[in-house]
Chains A and B, each alone.
Chain A
Protein backbone atom coordinates (compact mmCIF):
# COMPACT_ATOMS: atom_id res chain seq x y z
CA UNK A 1 0.00 0.00 0.00
CA UNK A 2 2.76 2.40 0.88
CA UNK A 3 4.37 1.61 -2.43
CA UNK A 4 1.23 2.64 -4.26
CA UNK A 5 1.14 5.86 -2.30
CA UNK A 6 4.62 6.81 -3.35
CA UNK A 7 3.85 6.18 -7.02
CA UNK A 8 0.65 8.15 -6.60
CA UNK A 9 2.48 11.01 -4.91
CA UNK A 10 4.88 11.12 -7.79
CA UNK A 11 2.05 11.33 -10.26
CA UNK A 12 0.54 14.21 -8.35
CA UNK A 13 3.75 16.19 -7.89
CA UNK A 14 2.60 18.80 -10.40
CA UNK A 15 -0.62 19.26 -8.51
CA UNK A 16 1.29 19.68 -5.27
CA UNK A 17 3.43 22.35 -6.88
CA UNK A 18 0.39 24.05 -8.37
CA UNK A 19 -1.42 24.11 -5.03
CA UNK A 20 1.57 25.53 -3.21
CA UNK A 21 2.00 28.33 -5.76
CA UNK A 22 -1.70 29.04 -5.59
CA UNK A 23 -1.57 29.48 -1.81
CA UNK A 24 1.43 31.78 -2.05
CA UNK A 25 -0.22 33.83 -4.77
CA UNK A 26 -3.45 34.24 -2.85
CA UNK A 27 -1.66 35.10 0.38
CA UNK A 28 -0.01 38.24 -0.89
CA UNK A 29 -2.44 39.16 -3.63
CA UNK A 30 -3.10 42.89 -3.73
CA UNK A 31 -0.60 43.83 -1.03
CA UNK A 32 1.99 46.33 -2.12
CA UNK A 33 4.93 44.74 -0.40
CA UNK A 34 3.98 41.16 -1.31
CA UNK A 35 6.58 38.63 -0.32
CA UNK A 36 8.48 41.27 1.63
CA UNK A 37 5.86 40.81 4.33
CA UNK A 38 7.25 37.39 5.14
CA UNK A 39 10.40 39.22 6.09
CA UNK A 40 8.91 42.35 7.64
CA UNK A 41 6.30 40.65 9.70
CA UNK A 42 8.62 38.69 12.01
CA UNK A 43 10.93 41.69 12.35
CA UNK A 44 8.12 44.03 13.33
CA UNK A 45 6.68 41.48 15.74
CA UNK A 46 10.06 40.92 17.29
CA UNK A 47 10.56 44.64 17.67
CA UNK A 48 7.26 45.12 19.46
CA UNK A 49 7.68 42.11 21.71
CA UNK A 50 11.23 43.10 22.56
CA UNK A 51 10.01 46.55 23.55
CA UNK A 52 7.23 45.11 25.67
CA UNK A 53 9.37 42.57 27.37
CA UNK A 54 12.29 44.85 28.05
CA UNK A 55 10.07 47.37 29.87
CA UNK A 56 7.37 45.28 31.42
CA UNK A 57 8.92 41.94 32.25
CA UNK A 58 12.62 41.56 32.36
CA UNK A 59 14.11 38.23 31.50
CA UNK A 60 17.73 37.49 31.95
CA UNK A 61 18.34 36.24 28.44
CA UNK A 62 21.42 37.16 26.45
CA UNK A 63 20.55 38.44 22.97
CA UNK A 64 16.86 38.58 23.71
CA UNK A 65 15.78 39.74 20.21
CA UNK A 66 17.34 36.69 18.59
CA UNK A 67 16.00 34.37 21.28
CA UNK A 68 12.56 35.78 20.68
CA UNK A 69 12.52 35.78 16.88
CA UNK A 70 13.59 32.14 16.71
CA UNK A 71 10.82 30.98 18.98
CA UNK A 72 8.37 33.19 17.19
CA UNK A 73 9.33 32.00 13.71
CA UNK A 74 9.15 28.31 14.56
CA UNK A 75 5.94 28.57 16.51
CA UNK A 76 4.47 30.95 13.96
CA UNK A 77 5.12 28.45 11.21
CA UNK A 78 3.60 25.61 13.19
CA UNK A 79 0.53 27.59 14.09
CA UNK A 80 -0.04 29.03 10.62
CA UNK A 81 0.56 25.81 8.74
CA UNK A 82 -1.64 23.63 10.92
CA UNK A 83 -4.44 26.21 10.96
CA UNK A 84 -4.34 26.33 7.20
CA UNK A 85 -4.12 22.56 6.90
CA UNK A 86 -7.14 22.28 9.18
CA UNK A 87 -9.37 23.94 6.60
CA UNK A 88 -7.69 22.44 3.56
CA UNK A 89 -10.01 19.51 2.92
CA UNK A 90 -13.16 21.53 3.52
CA UNK A 91 -12.05 24.42 1.34
CA UNK A 92 -11.15 22.21 -1.58
CA UNK A 93 -14.54 20.55 -1.57
CA UNK A 94 -15.26 21.86 -5.07
CA UNK A 95 -12.32 20.01 -6.51
CA UNK A 96 -12.77 16.86 -4.43
CA UNK A 97 -16.35 16.53 -5.55
CA UNK A 98 -15.49 16.55 -9.24
CA UNK A 99 -12.40 14.51 -9.70
CA UNK A 100 -10.42 11.92 -7.83
CA UNK A 101 -7.45 13.51 -6.09
CA UNK A 102 -5.59 11.94 -3.18
CA UNK A 103 -6.95 13.91 -0.28
CA UNK A 104 -3.78 14.04 1.78
CA UNK A 105 -2.35 16.33 -0.86
CA UNK A 106 -4.35 19.26 0.50
CA UNK A 107 -3.06 19.42 4.09
CA UNK A 108 0.44 18.67 2.84
CA UNK A 109 0.35 21.45 0.25
CA UNK A 110 -0.85 23.95 2.84
CA UNK A 111 1.95 23.08 5.22
CA UNK A 112 4.46 23.28 2.40
CA UNK A 113 3.33 26.71 1.24
CA UNK A 114 3.57 27.92 4.80
CA UNK A 115 7.04 26.41 4.93
CA UNK A 116 8.09 28.40 1.89
CA UNK A 117 6.97 31.58 3.64
CA UNK A 118 8.97 30.57 6.67
CA UNK A 119 12.07 30.17 4.56
CA UNK A 120 11.68 33.85 3.66
CA UNK A 121 11.35 34.64 7.34
CA UNK A 122 14.70 32.99 7.98
CA UNK A 123 16.17 36.02 6.32
CA UNK A 124 14.82 38.04 9.22
CA UNK A 125 16.67 35.78 11.64
CA UNK A 126 19.88 36.24 9.71
CA UNK A 127 19.39 40.00 9.77
CA UNK A 128 18.97 39.93 13.54
CA UNK A 129 22.07 37.74 13.84
CA UNK A 130 24.02 40.20 11.81
CA UNK A 131 22.68 43.18 13.75
CA UNK A 132 23.44 41.66 17.13
CA UNK A 133 26.89 40.55 16.13
CA UNK A 134 26.33 36.80 16.23
CA UNK A 135 28.95 35.13 14.07
CA UNK A 136 27.91 32.93 11.17
CA UNK A 137 29.61 29.63 11.80
CA UNK A 138 29.77 26.27 10.15
CA UNK A 139 27.32 24.87 12.74
CA UNK A 140 24.60 26.73 10.85
CA UNK A 141 24.70 23.91 8.33
CA UNK A 142 22.74 21.84 10.85
CA UNK A 143 19.89 24.34 10.63
CA UNK A 144 17.96 22.62 7.82
CA UNK A 145 17.71 19.58 10.05
CA UNK A 146 15.77 21.46 12.69
CA UNK A 147 13.51 22.95 10.02
CA UNK A 148 12.91 19.49 8.63
CA UNK A 149 11.74 18.27 12.04
CA UNK A 150 9.25 21.08 12.42
CA UNK A 151 8.04 20.52 8.87
CA UNK A 152 7.37 16.82 9.46
CA UNK A 153 5.74 17.52 12.78
CA UNK A 154 3.46 20.14 11.25
CA UNK A 155 2.49 17.79 8.41
CA UNK A 156 1.51 15.17 10.97
CA UNK A 157 -0.50 17.53 13.16
CA UNK A 158 -2.00 19.18 10.05
CA UNK A 159 -3.33 15.89 8.68
CA UNK A 160 -4.70 14.93 12.07
CA UNK A 161 -6.51 18.20 12.62
CA UNK A 162 -7.79 18.36 9.03
CA UNK A 163 -9.31 14.89 9.33
CA UNK A 164 -11.04 15.69 12.61
CA UNK A 165 -12.35 19.04 11.39
CA UNK A 166 -14.20 17.49 8.46
CA UNK A 167 -16.43 15.67 10.91
CA UNK A 168 -16.37 18.10 13.79
CA UNK A 169 -16.51 21.69 12.62
CA UNK A 170 -16.21 22.86 16.22
CA UNK A 171 -12.49 22.25 15.84
CA UNK A 172 -12.22 25.45 13.79
CA UNK A 173 -13.13 27.49 16.84
CA UNK A 174 -11.45 25.31 19.40
CA UNK A 175 -8.10 25.06 17.68
CA UNK A 176 -7.24 28.75 17.95
CA UNK A 177 -7.70 28.47 21.71
CA UNK A 178 -5.54 25.36 21.77
CA UNK A 179 -2.87 27.24 19.83
CA UNK A 180 -2.90 30.13 22.26
CA UNK A 181 -2.52 27.78 25.20
CA UNK A 182 0.20 25.92 23.35
CA UNK A 183 2.10 29.13 22.63
CA UNK A 184 2.16 29.99 26.33
CA UNK A 185 3.36 26.51 27.16
CA UNK A 186 6.26 26.94 24.76
CA UNK A 187 9.24 29.02 25.85
CA UNK A 188 8.97 31.54 23.04
CA UNK A 189 9.43 34.79 24.91
CA UNK A 190 10.41 33.52 28.37
CA UNK A 191 13.35 31.42 29.52
CA UNK A 192 12.78 27.90 30.75
CA UNK A 193 14.29 28.90 34.07
CA UNK A 194 11.25 30.97 35.06
CA UNK A 195 8.94 27.98 34.80
CA UNK A 196 8.34 26.68 38.33
CA UNK A 197 9.85 23.26 38.95
CA UNK A 198 6.54 21.61 39.74
CA UNK A 199 5.03 22.35 36.32
CA UNK A 200 8.15 22.12 34.25
CA UNK A 201 7.26 18.54 33.29
CA UNK A 202 4.64 19.95 30.95
CA UNK A 203 7.42 21.21 28.71
CA UNK A 204 8.74 17.68 28.44
CA UNK A 205 5.58 16.73 26.61
CA UNK A 206 5.76 19.65 24.23
CA UNK A 207 7.54 18.63 21.02
CA UNK A 208 7.79 22.23 19.87
CA UNK A 209 9.96 23.00 22.86
CA UNK A 210 12.55 20.52 21.62
CA UNK A 211 12.48 21.81 18.06
CA UNK A 212 12.85 25.44 19.12
CA UNK A 213 15.59 24.53 21.54
CA UNK A 214 17.36 22.62 18.78
CA UNK A 215 17.29 25.69 16.58
CA UNK A 216 18.48 27.99 19.38
CA UNK A 217 21.35 25.71 20.27
CA UNK A 218 22.65 26.00 16.73
CA UNK A 219 22.12 29.71 16.17
CA UNK A 220 22.23 31.28 19.60
CA UNK A 221 24.54 29.07 21.61
CA UNK A 222 26.71 28.05 18.71
CA UNK A 223 26.69 24.37 19.64
CA UNK A 224 25.76 21.27 17.70
CA UNK A 225 22.95 19.38 19.40
CA UNK A 226 23.94 15.89 20.43
CA UNK A 227 23.15 12.88 18.30
CA UNK A 228 20.82 11.72 21.04
CA UNK A 229 18.81 14.94 20.83
CA UNK A 230 18.75 14.76 17.06
CA UNK A 231 17.43 11.22 17.00
CA UNK A 232 14.86 12.11 19.62
CA UNK A 233 13.61 15.09 17.60
CA UNK A 234 13.46 12.92 14.52
CA UNK A 235 11.42 10.29 16.34
CA UNK A 236 9.00 12.91 17.58
CA UNK A 237 8.39 14.31 14.12
CA UNK A 238 8.10 10.91 12.45
CA UNK A 239 5.66 9.78 15.13
CA UNK A 240 3.51 12.82 14.37
CA UNK A 241 3.47 12.00 10.65
CA UNK A 242 2.57 8.36 11.26
CA UNK A 243 -0.23 9.13 13.70
CA UNK A 244 -1.58 11.96 11.56
CA UNK A 245 -1.35 9.80 8.43
CA UNK A 246 -3.17 6.87 9.99
CA UNK A 247 -5.97 9.00 11.39
CA UNK A 248 -6.34 10.82 8.06
CA UNK A 249 -6.43 7.60 6.10
CA UNK A 250 -8.93 5.98 8.45
CA UNK A 251 -11.30 8.90 8.21
CA UNK A 252 -10.92 9.91 4.56
CA UNK A 253 -13.34 7.35 3.14
CA UNK A 254 -16.40 9.34 4.12
CA UNK A 255 -15.09 12.89 3.72
CA UNK A 256 -17.21 13.47 0.66
CA UNK A 257 -20.40 13.00 2.60
CA UNK A 258 -19.43 15.71 5.07
CA UNK A 259 -18.02 18.48 2.91
Chain B
Protein backbone atom coordinates (compact mmCIF):
# COMPACT_ATOMS: atom_id res chain seq x y z
CA UNK B 1 0.00 0.00 0.00
CA UNK B 2 1.31 3.37 -0.89
CA UNK B 3 1.87 6.07 1.62
CA UNK B 4 -0.17 8.66 -0.22
CA UNK B 5 -3.42 9.39 1.49
CA UNK B 6 -4.56 11.78 -1.22
CA UNK B 7 -3.64 11.48 -4.87
CA UNK B 8 -4.77 14.06 -7.36
CA UNK B 9 -3.84 13.05 -10.87
CA UNK B 10 -3.98 15.54 -13.68
CA UNK B 11 -7.30 16.96 -12.55
CA UNK B 12 -9.20 19.57 -14.51
CA UNK B 13 -12.42 21.12 -13.34
CA UNK B 14 -14.54 23.00 -15.76
CA UNK B 15 -17.78 24.83 -15.08
CA UNK B 16 -20.31 25.78 -17.70
CA UNK B 17 -21.53 29.27 -17.24
CA UNK B 18 -24.71 29.88 -19.16
CA UNK B 19 -24.17 32.95 -21.23
CA UNK B 20 -27.57 33.96 -22.50
CA UNK B 21 -30.40 34.75 -20.19
CA UNK B 22 -33.53 32.82 -20.89
CA UNK B 23 -36.84 33.36 -19.24
CA UNK B 24 -38.41 29.94 -19.55
CA UNK B 25 -38.63 26.59 -21.22
CA UNK B 26 -39.97 28.06 -24.44
CA UNK B 27 -37.05 30.43 -24.84
CA UNK B 28 -34.64 27.71 -23.88
CA UNK B 29 -35.94 25.38 -26.57
CA UNK B 30 -36.00 28.10 -29.19
CA UNK B 31 -32.47 29.21 -28.38
CA UNK B 32 -31.13 25.69 -28.21
CA UNK B 33 -32.66 24.81 -31.55
CA UNK B 34 -31.13 27.86 -33.15
CA UNK B 35 -27.80 26.97 -31.66
CA UNK B 36 -27.75 30.21 -29.76
CA UNK B 37 -27.37 28.65 -26.34
CA UNK B 38 -23.72 29.22 -25.62
CA UNK B 39 -21.92 27.88 -22.68
CA UNK B 40 -18.96 29.81 -21.49
CA UNK B 41 -16.45 27.31 -20.26
CA UNK B 42 -14.64 28.31 -17.18
CA UNK B 43 -11.68 26.29 -16.04
CA UNK B 44 -11.57 26.51 -12.28
CA UNK B 45 -8.63 24.12 -12.16
CA UNK B 46 -6.25 22.96 -14.86
CA UNK B 47 -4.03 19.89 -14.76
CA UNK B 48 -3.51 19.67 -11.05
CA UNK B 49 -1.16 16.97 -9.76
CA UNK B 50 -0.76 16.53 -6.07
CA UNK B 51 0.38 13.74 -3.80
CA UNK B 52 -0.19 14.09 -0.11
CA UNK B 53 1.37 11.67 2.31
CA UNK B 54 -0.26 10.48 5.48
CA UNK B 55 0.33 12.86 8.34
CA UNK B 56 1.48 15.83 6.28
CA UNK B 57 0.08 19.31 6.69
CA UNK B 58 -0.45 21.18 3.46
CA UNK B 59 -1.30 24.79 2.92
CA UNK B 60 -3.06 25.94 -0.21
CA UNK B 61 -2.60 29.57 -1.05
CA UNK B 62 -3.51 31.87 -3.88
CA UNK B 63 -5.68 34.84 -4.68
CA UNK B 64 -9.48 34.88 -4.66
CA UNK B 65 -10.86 32.74 -7.45
CA UNK B 66 -7.66 30.81 -7.97
CA UNK B 67 -9.43 27.50 -7.37
CA UNK B 68 -8.47 26.70 -3.78
CA UNK B 69 -11.94 25.90 -2.56
CA UNK B 70 -12.76 23.99 -5.72
CA UNK B 71 -9.75 21.79 -5.12
CA UNK B 72 -10.88 21.09 -1.56
CA UNK B 73 -14.35 20.24 -2.77
CA UNK B 74 -12.93 17.86 -5.34
CA UNK B 75 -10.85 16.13 -2.68
CA UNK B 76 -13.89 15.92 -0.39
CA UNK B 77 -15.81 14.19 -3.17
CA UNK B 78 -18.38 16.95 -3.35
CA UNK B 79 -17.57 17.72 -6.98
CA UNK B 80 -16.60 15.15 -9.56
CA UNK B 81 -13.64 16.26 -11.68
CA UNK B 82 -14.19 17.00 -15.35
CA UNK B 83 -10.96 15.20 -16.20
CA UNK B 84 -8.41 13.27 -14.20
CA UNK B 85 -8.60 11.14 -11.10
CA UNK B 86 -8.72 11.67 -7.39
CA UNK B 87 -8.02 8.98 -4.87
CA UNK B 88 -8.55 9.41 -1.16
CA UNK B 89 -7.67 6.66 1.27
CA UNK B 90 -9.27 7.68 4.51
CA UNK B 91 -12.20 9.46 6.08
CA UNK B 92 -12.63 13.19 5.71
CA UNK B 93 -14.07 15.50 8.33
CA UNK B 94 -16.76 17.84 6.99
CA UNK B 95 -15.37 20.70 5.06
CA UNK B 96 -15.42 23.57 7.41
CA UNK B 97 -15.68 27.06 6.15
CA UNK B 98 -17.73 30.10 6.91
CA UNK B 99 -21.40 29.15 7.22
CA UNK B 100 -20.39 25.54 7.47
CA UNK B 101 -22.33 22.41 6.65
CA UNK B 102 -25.09 23.12 9.07
CA UNK B 103 -28.82 23.21 8.79
CA UNK B 104 -29.53 26.77 9.87
CA UNK B 105 -33.02 25.92 11.12
CA UNK B 106 -31.79 23.31 13.56
CA UNK B 107 -30.24 23.97 16.93
CA UNK B 108 -26.56 23.47 17.74
CA UNK B 109 -27.42 20.22 19.48
CA UNK B 110 -29.31 18.81 16.50
CA UNK B 111 -26.58 19.90 14.14
CA UNK B 112 -23.96 18.11 16.18
CA UNK B 113 -25.86 14.86 15.85
CA UNK B 114 -26.56 15.46 12.18
CA UNK B 115 -22.91 16.18 11.42
CA UNK B 116 -21.82 13.14 13.40
CA UNK B 117 -24.22 10.98 11.42
CA UNK B 118 -22.85 12.39 8.17
CA UNK B 119 -19.50 11.00 9.23
CA UNK B 120 -21.03 7.67 10.14
CA UNK B 121 -21.09 8.03 13.91
CA UNK B 122 -23.97 6.76 15.97
CA UNK B 123 -26.12 8.87 18.25
CA UNK B 124 -24.55 7.15 21.25
CA UNK B 125 -21.04 8.04 20.18
CA UNK B 126 -22.03 11.65 19.67
CA UNK B 127 -23.86 11.74 22.99
CA UNK B 128 -20.70 10.66 24.73
CA UNK B 129 -18.72 13.39 23.04
CA UNK B 130 -21.41 16.03 23.08
CA UNK B 131 -20.27 17.78 26.23
CA UNK B 132 -16.73 18.03 25.00
CA UNK B 133 -17.74 19.42 21.61
CA UNK B 134 -19.88 22.11 23.19
CA UNK B 135 -17.26 22.91 25.80
CA UNK B 136 -14.50 23.32 23.24
CA UNK B 137 -16.68 25.62 21.17
CA UNK B 138 -17.60 27.50 24.36
CA UNK B 139 -21.26 27.29 23.46
CA UNK B 140 -22.72 25.63 26.56
CA UNK B 141 -25.35 28.31 26.94
CA UNK B 142 -26.40 28.15 23.32
CA UNK B 143 -26.71 24.42 22.68
CA UNK B 144 -30.45 24.70 22.05
CA UNK B 145 -30.48 27.86 20.00
CA UNK B 146 -31.02 27.56 16.23
CA UNK B 147 -27.77 28.13 14.34
CA UNK B 148 -29.34 30.94 12.31
CA UNK B 149 -29.12 33.11 15.42
CA UNK B 150 -25.41 32.48 15.91
CA UNK B 151 -22.68 34.93 15.07
CA UNK B 152 -20.24 33.86 12.38
CA UNK B 153 -17.57 33.30 14.99
CA UNK B 154 -19.85 30.99 16.94
CA UNK B 155 -20.69 28.97 13.85
CA UNK B 156 -17.03 28.66 12.98
CA UNK B 157 -16.18 27.53 16.50
CA UNK B 158 -18.87 24.89 16.46
CA UNK B 159 -17.76 23.68 13.04
CA UNK B 160 -14.17 23.39 14.10
CA UNK B 161 -15.11 21.67 17.32
CA UNK B 162 -17.20 19.00 15.58
CA UNK B 163 -14.75 18.38 12.78
CA UNK B 164 -11.85 17.90 15.13
CA UNK B 165 -13.73 15.81 17.66
CA UNK B 166 -14.60 12.98 15.30
CA UNK B 167 -11.42 11.11 14.51
CA UNK B 168 -11.20 11.64 10.78
CA UNK B 169 -8.03 10.83 8.85
CA UNK B 170 -8.12 14.07 6.92
CA UNK B 171 -9.01 17.49 8.24
CA UNK B 172 -9.85 20.18 5.74
CA UNK B 173 -9.95 23.77 6.86
CA UNK B 174 -11.09 26.51 4.56
CA UNK B 175 -10.50 29.99 5.92
CA UNK B 176 -12.00 29.24 9.26
CA UNK B 177 -9.39 30.54 11.63
CA UNK B 178 -9.90 34.07 10.41
CA UNK B 179 -13.20 34.53 12.26
CA UNK B 180 -12.32 33.24 15.70
CA UNK B 181 -10.72 35.56 18.21
CA UNK B 182 -7.08 35.23 19.17
CA UNK B 183 -7.76 33.04 22.19
CA UNK B 184 -9.82 30.61 20.20
CA UNK B 185 -7.29 30.55 17.36
CA UNK B 186 -4.64 29.53 19.84
CA UNK B 187 -6.87 26.72 21.05
CA UNK B 188 -7.38 25.57 17.47
CA UNK B 189 -3.65 25.45 16.80
CA UNK B 190 -3.08 23.39 19.88
CA UNK B 191 -5.72 20.90 18.92
CA UNK B 192 -4.51 20.67 15.33
CA UNK B 193 -0.98 20.04 16.54
CA UNK B 194 -2.26 17.25 18.70
CA UNK B 195 -4.20 15.72 15.84
CA UNK B 196 -1.21 15.98 13.54
CA UNK B 197 0.91 14.25 16.13
CA UNK B 198 -1.62 11.44 16.03
CA UNK B 199 -1.25 11.14 12.28
CA UNK B 200 -4.10 13.28 10.94
CA UNK B 201 -3.48 14.83 7.56
CA UNK B 202 -4.34 18.51 7.36
CA UNK B 203 -5.28 20.66 4.39
CA UNK B 204 -5.46 24.34 5.13
CA UNK B 205 -6.64 27.14 2.92
CA UNK B 206 -5.69 30.53 4.23
CA UNK B 207 -4.86 34.03 3.15
CA UNK B 208 -2.92 34.48 6.30
CA UNK B 209 0.60 33.41 5.43
CA UNK B 210 1.63 33.45 9.06
CA UNK B 211 -0.95 30.73 9.76
CA UNK B 212 0.31 28.64 6.90
CA UNK B 213 3.89 28.97 8.07
CA UNK B 214 2.87 28.03 11.57
CA UNK B 215 1.01 24.85 10.68
CA UNK B 216 2.07 23.49 7.32
CA UNK B 217 5.21 21.85 6.02
CA UNK B 218 4.21 21.88 2.38
CA UNK B 219 2.43 24.42 0.26
CA UNK B 220 0.62 24.48 -3.05
CA UNK B 221 0.30 27.86 -4.69
CA UNK B 222 -2.57 28.16 -7.13
CA UNK B 223 -2.91 30.92 -9.63
CA UNK B 224 -5.92 31.14 -11.98
CA UNK B 225 -6.56 27.46 -11.56
CA UNK B 226 -3.03 26.40 -12.33
CA UNK B 227 -0.23 25.22 -10.14
CA UNK B 228 2.24 28.03 -9.75
CA UNK B 229 4.56 26.54 -7.20
CA UNK B 230 4.58 23.48 -5.04
CA UNK B 231 6.97 22.42 -2.33
CA UNK B 232 8.33 23.41 1.04
CA UNK B 233 6.59 26.05 3.00
CA UNK B 234 9.43 28.51 3.45
CA UNK B 235 10.42 29.08 -0.19
CA UNK B 236 6.94 29.38 -1.50
CA UNK B 237 5.61 31.62 1.21
CA UNK B 238 8.54 33.95 0.68
CA UNK B 239 7.95 34.23 -3.04
CA UNK B 240 4.21 34.56 -2.49
CA UNK B 241 4.75 37.46 -0.15
CA UNK B 242 7.14 39.13 -2.53
CA UNK B 243 4.73 39.52 -5.44
The reply to whether B102 and A94 contact each other, CB–CB distance below 8 Å, is yes
> How many CB-defined contacts (below 8 Å) exist between A and B?
63
- In the complex, which residue of chain B has the Cβ closest to the Cβ of A12? B120
Task: State which of A98-106, A145-153, A241-249 sits at the interface with chain B.
Answer: A98-106
The minimal Cβ–Cβ distance linking A182 to chain B, given in whole angstroms, is 22
The reply to whether A170 and B118 contact each other, CB–CB distance below 8 Å, is no
- Distance, CA A229 to CA B224, complexed state (A): 62
- In the complex, which residue of chain A has the Cβ closest to the Cβ of B119? A99
Interface membership of B240, Cβ < 8 A: no
The reply to whether A98 and B95 contact each other, CB–CB distance below 8 Å, is yes
Residues of A within 8 A of B77 (CB): 100
The minimal Cβ–Cβ distance linking B118 to chain A, given in whole angstroms, is 6
Task: State which of A13-21, A36-44, A49-57, A122-130 sits at the interface with chain B.
Answer: A13-21
8 A Cβ contacts from B1-56 to A: 15-16, 25
Interface membership of A256, Cβ < 8 A: yes
The reply to whether A100 and B76 contact each other, CB–CB distance below 8 Å, is yes
From the candidates A14, A19, A257, name the one contacting B116 in the complex (CB within 8 A).
A14
8 A Cβ contacts from B70-108 to A: 73, 76-80, 92, 94-97, 100-106
Residues of B within 8 A of A12 (CB): 117, 120
- In the complex, which residue of chain A has the Cβ closest to the Cβ of B105? A26
A1-31 interface bits toward B, Cβ cutoff 8 Å, 1 = contact, 0 = none = 0000000000110110111001000100000
- Distance, CA A100 to CA B77, complexed state (A): 5
Interface membership of B234, Cβ < 8 A: no
Residues of A within 8 A of B120 (CB): 11-12, 14-15
From the candidates A17, A97, A99, A253, name the one contacting B118 in the complex (CB within 8 A).
A99
Interface membership of A96, Cβ < 8 A: yes
Interface membership of B221, Cβ < 8 A: no
Task: Name the residue in A11, A15, A257 with the highest tally of chain B Cβ atoms < 10 Å from its Cβ.
Answer: A15
B139-154 interface bits toward A, Cβ cutoff 8 Å, 1 = contact, 0 = none = 0000000000000000
The reply to whether A95 and B78 contact each other, CB–CB distance below 8 Å, is no
Interface membership of B189, Cβ < 8 A: no
Residues of A within 8 A of B102 (CB): 94
The reply to whether A96 and B15 contact each other, CB–CB distance below 8 Å, is no
Residues of B within 8 A of A17 (CB): 117, 123
- In the complex, which residue of chain B has the Cβ closest to the Cβ of A11? B120
The reply to whether B25 and A253 contact each other, CB–CB distance below 8 Å, is no
8 A Cβ contacts from B191-235 to A: none
- Distance, CA A22 to CA B114, complexed state (A): 9
Known: A99-B95, A100-B92, A256-B78. A18 touches B117 (CB 8 A): yes
B residues touching A (Cβ–Cβ < 8 Å)?
A: 15-16, 25, 73, 76-80, 92, 94-97, 100-106, 110, 113-114, 116-118, 120-123
Interface pairs A-B: 9 shortest CB-CB = A98-B101, A100-B77, A99-B94, A18-B117, A15-B117, A14-B117, A11-B120, A98-B95, A99-B101
A-B contact pairs, 23 of them (CB 8 A): A11-B120, A14-B120, A15-B118, A15-B120, A17-B117, A19-B114, A19-B117, A22-B103, A22-B106, A22-B110, A22-B114, A26-B105, A94-B101, A94-B103, A95-B118, A96-B78, A97-B101, A98-B94, A98-B95, A99-B78, A99-B118, A170-B25, A257-B15
16 more contacts with CB within 8 A, not counting A18-B114, A18-B123, are A14-B122, A14-B123, A22-B103, A22-B110, A22-B114, A26-B105, A94-B103, A96-B78, A98-B96, A98-B101, A99-B76, A99-B78, A99-B92, A99-B95, A170-B25, A257-B16
